[in-house]
Amino acid sequence: DHIEPSEALEDIAVLESMGRSTRTQRVLRRPGDADSVINIKLYRRGEPLKLSKVIPPLEHLGLSVVQEA
């Protein structure tokens, strides 16, 4: 995936704003994506997220996980 510099700067701003928090998330739409496409970014400090724990609740809400970037 190609990440635009502006999006990378937004990621840095999110990370810097986390303070002592160990996790946060963003939901966003990228220009050109279909109306049915959303992107969820999960940020975590410390141990990595276990996708096997994150994905099932999203699928239970009716979301389909298409790609991990």
Q: 66 — phi, psi (to 5°)?
A: -100, -35
* pLDDT reported for residue 12: 93
pLDDT of residue 16: 92
Task: Return the pLDDT at 58.
Answer: 85
pLDDT tens-digit profile of 37-62?
888 888 998 888 888 888 899 889 88
Q: What is the pLDDT of residue 1?
A: 62
pTM: 0.71
Q: In sequence order, what are the residues at sequence separation of 6 or more whose Cβ sits closer than 8 angstroms to the Cβ of residue 10?
A: 26
Q: With beta carbons less than 8 A apart as the criterion, state whether 57 and 45 touch.
A: no
* Separation CA 41–CA 31 (nearest Å): 16
pLDDT tens-place string over residues 10-40: 999 999 999 899 999 888 888 888 888 888 8
User: Contact at 8 Å (CB) between 28 and 39?
Assistant: yes
